[in-house]
Structure 1
Amino acid sequence: MAAATFIEYSKGTQFVSTHIYGSWWFCMLWGALAIGTITYIIKMRMHSATLLLLHTSFIVILTGALITHLFAIKGLVHIRKGITTNQYIVNNGKEIKTLPFNIRLNNFNIIYNNGTSAPKDYISYITITDDKQSKDGYISINNIFTYNFVRLYQTSYDDDGNGTYLTINSDPYGIAISYTGYALLFFSLIWLLIDPNGSYRKLLKSPLLKKGMLCIMFLCGFSSVTQAASTLPDISANKFGKLDIMYNNRICPIQTFAIDFTEKLYGSSSYNDYSAEQVLTGFIFWNDEWKNEPIIKIKDNTLRKYFGLPKYISINQLFDKNLGGYILGPAVQEYYQGNHDKLHKAIIEIDDKVQLIMSLRHGEPFKIFPYGKGDNIIWYSPKAQVPKSMDTDKAMFVKNIFTLLNQSAHSGNYNQFNSLIAKIRIYQEQNGGNTLPSVTQVIAELTYNRIPFANILFMINITMGFITLLYSIYRLTSIKNNRHITKIISYTSIIIMLLSFIALTYCEILRWIISKNIPMANGYETMLLLAWFVMLFSLIFYHRFKILITFGFLMSGFFLLVSHIGQMDPQITPIMPVLSSPLLSIHVSIIMMSFALLSLTFICGLTALILYVTHRIKHDEKTIIDNQLSSLYLLSKILLYPAMSALGIGIFVGAIWANISWGQYWSWDPKEVWALITFMFYAIVLHKKSLPVFNSPLYYHIYTTVAFAMILMTYFGVNYFLGGMHSYA
């Protein structure tokens, strides 16, 4: 499976679907695994009802998958409004087949998020007819229409809005069997944790826990450039920044656009002593002066050397009459003609920044004037062609207000400027209707823009993680211990962790309020969620395992650092219609919970290996290191069992969501494949009766440390290298 994901990267999805995932020999491999499992269970005379049920669930799931593979009917129907058809397309358009009924498209409707062009849902209104009856219905995202065991899903639509694409799927037996397997799996994974006679409950009864050895062992230690360009004063710039704008298909404060604008140019949310709003308004009202400001950051060394440019340049440095005008022009043309090497990609990145600045001169981004009624309100820029139905006074206001703002700014009459801003605000409130964000949303967004949560918290958490880790290693390798210092570090650590957790929770709440969706729709948000879960588990289990505070600081700091370094923080936008499902929230939350727990087993293993090497170098007694490795072994196993239960449940909840949304519960997308690989890879270490080598704490820790590479590949490798439907980098 791992090899197939890399083959897909080079050969394409269709190749691996046909020659690997859909091949007879791949099905035979799964069949051999199932037969081997049954044979081995019989040979070992497995008596545990929980384990029998768990392994049986996989056999049932594989049986359902085989029936789906052999007998399921899948295809695509394209219908135009008013047309009736009974044909569907299979094999990527290579074959046409006939349905046992007719489908007529009566109407098609796209529902947009208020005041934007971002689709919220697509709805096809249809009539099904056969020899016996006629039935009306509708199909939308996450709403399936079923007729005689054939399910129809809303997939896409024609650009003119007069046609629709529907996915059809008929698989009554395969899905029923697969869902039965999922139910057995969910039950057995949960029962695995609560079974009084199970392995997990035996771990919790360990003498190490009863004697409080873990708490004793890890006590606890743990736990300038001169400002030349003109701009608005702070007060006026702030007032301008609080006006609403339609940006990224949602209505938000101009401040958000200003921050994104400045960060894209300069790599920071401010420039020298100028705020983002001052930078933006500087380019709007004093464009000629700001074109001389060295605000464009060139990150690529090759590009800088090629053109002889410094790291920060002004837009005017990119225009030279002696070189024919725009010096990047020829290279930009070469890029669009097919030259996509590293240099040309870097040039396009700079060209995007230039085009962004140029667009301000035409007023294209400033859609700040709403007009319309009810759900048909559209936001216009000052230079846009307004509807003829707009009354003369409003049209003149829209057309001339920026000219008046420009005159006020240049004359230094900021009282008049502020008065004009107030008039724009009144216009927005009178004409924005239900497209305007609530007061709570505006306050949340302005607060979120002001505080760089991830940047601050990663520095705090990583610093505290290394301080507590070094002190804990010192405690475990030192004869003398100062209890007073230990208490200070312990209490300080838990207080800082709690404050960090509260701050991250506040950040998540703000994003939730702003977007009106649970913040888990992209790479940045899932990184924050992962860090949140790590800190939550660390705080919950701190009273039993003091070492978890250190682990929590390190791993949450790592996840926050990755989001900061990668500059992953995306603009908040309306989510795709297919993502508006409660199953998505459950799926992502449980998966992130599992990854958080597995990341803590990685820190357990890494700490154990560091302690082992340290003790070997110092020639300490073997008993000491054995006790320490055993304690970390116990802690890691206590984390691993719920992590595996969460991962298994999360993967197959995702499969149910996919089946409801797309009509296919498993598509062999690289993220799905690597999640399954991670699940299987970590499951190996739980089979200590079959693989007694993992009864040794040392070998167990080596394995779990290496296993963390599976998570890194699943989360980062797929996102940034392999791609696929789940690539939300």
Structure 2
Amino acid sequence: MKTNKILKYTTIGSAAAVILMMAAATIVEKLYGTENAFRHFYHSPVFIALWAVTSISGVLLMIRRKTIKKPATFFLHIAFVLILAGAFLTLLTGKSGSMYLRRGETSANWSSDQGFRQKLPFKLTLKDFSIEYYPGTKDPSDYISKVVVSDTNTEYTISMNNILKHGGYRFYQTSYDSDLNGSVFSVSHDPWGVSVTYTGYIMLLLSMIGFFFQKNSGFRTALKARSEGFSKPVRTVLLVLNILLFGYLTFVIGRNWYRSGHGPFVGTYSVMMLMAWLVTVAMALLRKRLPIIQPLGFVLAGFSILVASLSFSDPEANLMPVLRSPFLSVHVLCMMVSYTLFGLVALIGVVGLIKRDNETRSMLRDMSLSILYPAVFMLTTGTFIGAVWANISWGNYWGWDPKETWALITMLVYAAMLHSSTVSRFAKPRFFHAYAIIAFLTVLITYFGVNFLLGGMHSYA
């Protein structure tokens, strides 16, 4: 028992330290630049050691507790260890940089991110470069380079979200010359890291799916909770209002989708309207099992619509070329579903603190848990789908961009709530509800804080 206690506090302490370091790193990056953030935080020996300690102590604790008897739970955690191992391999063995070619030029030389000259085992020739535009506009829809690989004498097309893979190297369209006669490609060579990381992603997805079917899982236990319903007239009024709001939002989103030619996945206005729409869907699906969701849902939907109305983003603007990817819709949809559910959990937390009797608080805690499990899993899925998309788009599945970092922080903060067997305080309803309210601050920072304060590649305000 003493060993278990040591492992438990070691895991909790190191994970908390990782979260604090990541939060501090995003602030340092904003104030002092990306190089300082990477040197003092993300690539520092202390940061790497903390991740290692968290992983090792966590796995040892699971082994001692015989978590293997719950295969989905066990392999879900092992998947995270694999993902971290893949990231470490990328750090040790991966190379990245850039290659510049003029039209008709043949070369095997490229420069690493550290400024060192590197040589490919083959040569590339730039045959042509062109820009495609949205019809009737001067907005670029794609940047296209045509290259020939020397060892096979084969012509390939490199464009946004369409990379060239050859000889263990990957090439991505990054930039171009103003005279349209030159191209800049990002180059990535990561023979081990990506494979291990992707194996972790697949194991994670399968484990999360299996978890919902696992006997006596926390999710199944929480689902047994029942809450008191409203009178029939009140239920009818709430349902009618729900349907009307759903219809209105569907019309607005559909109209903008038709006019712009893309879904509501970019820009504050579009994403907030999508979130409001998702709230109405959640209200309709959960109204019988969790009646309290409907009144709280109207509050969250109203807030989302208010934020959308205050936004200056154009829902009908053309997408940047890098955003023209099928991964965009899946990634954003998963993230916004999770944010929506986290918002509902926070509102239930407010109600839980207002209520005086412990029985009601306990019931509300179980209700929150039944929402929290799919919320955390959707956030996890969305985050790692985004990582796959990033790897396809610019050759780096994790770049410690502020939005990525805060999404990971949010994931870890909320995942803690699912570990009441390890952190016993989460079994106490009052603490659970208070934590749920405070935890929602990480969601607000991830979306609004990054978009309007911290900046980065994801700051599509």
Q: 1:37 aligns with which of 58, 66, 69?
A: 58
Q: 2:280 aligns with which of 535, 559, 563?
A: 535
Indicate if the aligned counterparts of 1:190 and 1:645 stay in contact, CA closer than 8 A: no
Q: 1:644 aligns with which of 360, 363, 376?
A: 376
Gaps of 5+ in 2: 1-21
Q: 1:671 aligns with which of 382, 391, 403?
A: 403
- 2:17 is the counterpart of 1:8: no
1:109: how far off? 1.3
- Measured against aligned partners, the alpha-carbon deviations of 1:201-257 in whole angstroms (never above 9, x if no partner) come to 2222x3x43xxxx1xx3x31xxxxxxxxxxxxxxxxxxxxxxxxxxxxxxxxxxxxx
CA–CA distance in structure 1, aligned partners of residues 410 and 209 of structure 2: 19
* Partner residue, 2:12: none
Q: 1:106 aligns with which of 110, 121, 127?
A: 127
- 2:461 is the counterpart of 1:719: no
- 2:240 is the counterpart of 1:495: yes
Q: 1:20 aligns with which of 34, 41, 51?
A: 41
CA–CA distance in structure 2, aligned partners of residues 573 and 716 of structure 1: 20
- Measured against aligned partners, the alpha-carbon deviations of 1:623-645 in whole angstroms (never above 9, x if no partner) come to xx122112211111110011011
The equivalences for 1:135-150 within 5 A come to: 135-150=154-169
Structure 1 vs Structure 2 CA RMSD? 1.4
Q: 1:26 corresponds to which letter in structure 2?
A: F
Change (3 A) 1:571 1:503: closer
* Partner residue, 1:687: 419
CA–CA distance in structure 1, aligned partners of residues 296 and 206 of structure 2: 30
CA–CA distance in structure 1, aligned partners of residues 236 and 150 of structure 2: 71
* Partner residue, 1:252: none
Indicate if the aligned counterparts of 1:89 and 1:97 stay in contact, CA closer than 8 A: yes
Indicate if the aligned counterparts of 2:100 and 2:110 stay in contact, CA closer than 8 A: yes
1:557: how far off? 0.7
- Measured against aligned partners, the alpha-carbon deviations of 1:251-272 in whole angstroms (never above 9, x if no partner) come to xxxxxxxxxxxxxxxxxxxxxx
1:567: how far off? 3.1
| Secondary structure of 1:685 counterpart | helix
Indicate if the aligned counterparts of 1:137 and 1:145 stay in contact, CA closer than 8 A: yes
CA–CA distance in structure 2, aligned partners of residues 17 and 81 of structure 1: 35
Runs of 4+ in structure 1 off by over 4 angstroms are none
Q: 2:108 aligns with which of 86, 92, 113?
A: 86
1:571: how far off? 5.6
Normalised TM-score (structure 1) = 0.59
CA–CA distance in structure 1, aligned partners of residues 174 and 94 of structure 2: 18
* Partner residue, 1:154: 173
**Among the aligned pairs, what percent are the same residue?**
38
1:98: how far off? 1.7
| Secondary structure of 1:8 counterpart | helix
Indicate if the aligned counterparts of 1:64 and 1:177 stay in contact, CA closer than 8 A: yes
**Worse-matched range after superposition: 168-177 or 661-670:** 168-177
* Partner residue, 1:127: 148
| Secondary structure of 1:123 counterpart | strand
Indicate if the aligned counterparts of 2:222 and 2:367 stay in contact, CA closer than 8 A: no
Larger Rg: 1
Normalised TM-score (structure 2) = 0.93
Indicate if the aligned counterparts of 2:267 and 2:313 stay in contact, CA closer than 8 A: no
- 2:206 is the counterpart of 1:191: no
Q: 2:131 corresponds to which letter in structure 1?
A: I
* Partner residue, 2:328: 584
* Partner residue, 2:338: 594
* Partner residue, 2:18: none
CA–CA distance in structure 1, aligned partners of residues 164 and 113 of structure 2: 23
CA–CA distance in structure 2, aligned partners of residues 179 and 653 of structure 1: 11
- 2:77 is the counterpart of 1:55: yes
* Partner residue, 2:221: 202
Gaps of 5+ in 1: 221-485, 613-624
1:712: how far off? 0.8
CA–CA distance in structure 2, aligned partners of residues 571 and 598 of structure 1: 25
1:569: how far off? 4.1
Indicate if the aligned counterparts of 1:87 and 1:98 stay in contact, CA closer than 8 A: yes
The equivalences for 1:334-373 within 5 A come to: none
CA–CA distance in structure 2, aligned partners of residues 529 and 190 of structure 1: 25
**Worse-matched range after superposition: 10-19 or 63-72:** 10-19
Q: 2:360 aligns with which of 611, 622, 628?
A: 628
CA–CA distance in structure 1, aligned partners of residues 355 and 312 of structure 2: 35
Q: 1:697 aligns with which of 415, 429, 435?
A: 429
